[in-house]
Homo-oligomer: A and B are copies of this chain.
Amino acid sequence: MTTNEANEPAEESLLDGPRVDDSFHVFDTTLRDGAQREGINLTVADKLTIARHLDEFGVGFIEGGWPGANPRDTEFFARARQEITFHNAQLVAFGATRRAGGKAAEDPQVRALVESGAPVITLVAKSHDRHVELALRTTLDENLEMIRDTVSYLREQGRRVFLDCEHFFDGYKANPEYAKAVVRAASDAGADVVILCDTNGGMLPAQIQAVVATVLADTGARLGIHAQDDTGCAVANTLAAVDAGATHVQCTANGYGERVGNANLFPVVAALELKYGKRVLPQGALAEMTRISHAIAEVVNLAPSTHQPYVGVSAFAHKAGLHASAIKVDPDLYQHIDPGLVGNHIRMLVSDMAGRASIELKGQELGIDLGDDREVVARVVERVKERELRGYTYEAADASFELLLRDEVEGGPRDYFRIESYRAIIETLKDGTHANGATVKFWVGEERIIVSAEGNGPVNALDSALLEGLERFYPQVAKFELVDYKVRTLEGKHGTASTTRVLITTTDGTGEWTTVGAGPNVIEASWEALQDAYTYGLLRAGTQPRR
């Protein structure tokens, strides 16, 4: 669930920004480089939601995209300035150095970076001599001048500048002097950090460590690392660079990124905090890691990786009977960290998806007092397990979970309405157009209501019918609007014959909530999630059920 942190305009917040400890940077590029992952296609609303999650997690920098390069990224920066108050992160705009032969001050792409209002700009520059000549088609000297000019100009505009050296490690191998000249040019012109990028992802940790150490010694520049995972070593490469003196790490949530992906933010910060003993996140943030990882996966509509280090549901799952008995004696003998440190938990059985502790914590979080009633908690655990087996998920559907929890604690469901039956028809008409209609029969107290409605699809028609019928009794539903709708089919080997899960996010203009439905088909699952959406919205508004 997302909370709209600020309705007040926050025009100046981006340039003032929150204070972060500047000695070590956790820099997230999920919204820019992560979005290059095959299968990810983010809307502006998705990007805003992910930015809120990342800020809550406590990264120092959120690279939001390339303003000016496409309308979506431009809109993201405009809306982020209005709609988000960042508590931990500074927003970063990504862009390129000016064109060859021009002036930074007159370059429209560079101007768009300034106009984005972002307090920090990451510039990408070529540092591999062949790329300068073949891809950029300019001279090695002009490339250095482009860097100096663009960095200086942005500094004059009051922006902090980081410089990404694209293809740095391959470039260093081909021409180490030129690669270092790029680092010096950026640093001398005022770039705060120069990031060495393993753009093709072919490096191994020992190589990264040696190059970073040499470049640091030879240039004295503050260095960062940007690792891709093509050898399966992006996390280790990032840590190797830190070992060699880098103080800025670029990562993406869940390792999303082009080809194999980028260095995964979560194991990198977990290693820094738990293995290096280095505080890189705000107090308490690490314990939210599992939840935030899964929430971001839901937004990008990819199943969370069950086997992701630290945060996967299998990450602390023990299968071997041998271990299970020994774990009871001393769990620390069989796990490398206490899973609670990263918001995860031990699982001894495959079906054990929700433990008592997490239910109790969730109750606290929602302000529902579960007291010492072990029986209620046990019943909730049982119901969650049973329903998750049938395809529901409560990790992203906080509203449906709260309804389930209140149902057990308060005894019985909220009875705003009772459905009798529904029907939806989709057909093509003679003129080639489509018609979608729905009829819903339901009760409010003692009154029976029959409503028919049309829509541009069966779910929309069902939604319209329910809304129209409820409005007479509960006028506030007029404000409800369905803002996101996601469907996933579970159990790959059956296609449409398998279980379908639907997540619906609804707003009433002041907040958003997400509900879940699951069933053999998309319409039934949607219908279930819709009913929860209306019930939760009414509950949230403090409405009393009509008798």
Contacts and interface: CB of A to CB of B under 8 A. Distances in A.
A303 B333 contact: no
A219 B87 CA distance: 53
A318 B303 CA distance: 22
Q: How many copies does the complex hold?
A: 2
Nearest to A395: B38
A485 interface: yes
A519 to B, nearest CB: 8
Interface in A218-237: 229-233, 235-237
Contacts of A231: 235, 267, 270-271, 275, 309, 336
A43 B458 contact: no
A482 interface: yes
A232 B483 contact: no
A134 B202 contact: no
B240 A308 contact: no
Given A426-B521, A484-B492, A492-B46, A330 B39 contact: no
A483 B487 contact: no
A350 interface: yes
B521 A38 contact: no
A364 interface: no
A17 interface: no
A521 to B, nearest CB: 2
Contact of A260 (B131, B314, B488): B314
- Most-contacted residue by chain B among A232, A270, A427 (CB, 10 A): A232
Interface in A141-176: 167, 170
Given A36-B319, A484-B489, A205 B202 contact: no
B426 A490 contact: no
Interface in A280-333: 301, 303, 306-310, 312, 314-320, 326, 329-330, 333
Contact of A233 (B201, B236, B455, B495): B236
Contacts of A459: 496, 521-522
Given A260-B309, A426-B423, A484-B495, A521 B333 contact: no
A486 interface: yes
A492 B483 contact: yes
- Most-contacted residue by chain B among A204, A260, A337 (CB, 10 A): A260
A473 interface: no
Nearest to A236: B236
A206 interface: yes
Contacts of A393: 41
A233 B434 CA distance: 50
Interface in A107-159: 128, 130-131, 134-135
A45 interface: yes
A236 to B, nearest CB: 3
Nearest to A239: B204
B521 A267 contact: no
Contacts of A486: 301, 487-489
Given A38-B350, A421-B427, A495-B483, A500 B457 contact: yes
Given A45-B493, A436-B523, 16 more contacts: A39-B306, A39-B395, A131-B326, A135-B329, A204-B271, A230-B310, A231-B267, A232-B264, A233-B239, A259-B314, A419-B428, A434-B520, A436-B521, A459-B521, A460-B496, A487-B488
Interface of A: 36-39, 41, 43-46, 128, 130-131, 134-135, 167, 170, 200-202, 204-206, 229-233, 235-237, 239-240, 243, 255, 258-261, 264, 267, 270-271, 275, 301, 303, 306-310, 312, 314-320, 326, 329-330, 333-337, 349-350, 393, 395-396, 419, 421-430, 434, 436, 455-460, 463, 481-498, 500, 504, 506, 520-524
27 contacts: A39-B396, A41-B488, A41-B490, A130-B333, A135-B329, A135-B333, A167-B333, A200-B336, A205-B205, A206-B239, A231-B271, A231-B275, A233-B233, A233-B235, A258-B317, A260-B314, A301-B486, A421-B427, A422-B428, A424-B458, A425-B425, A436-B521, A458-B521, A458-B522, A483-B495, A486-B488, A487-B522
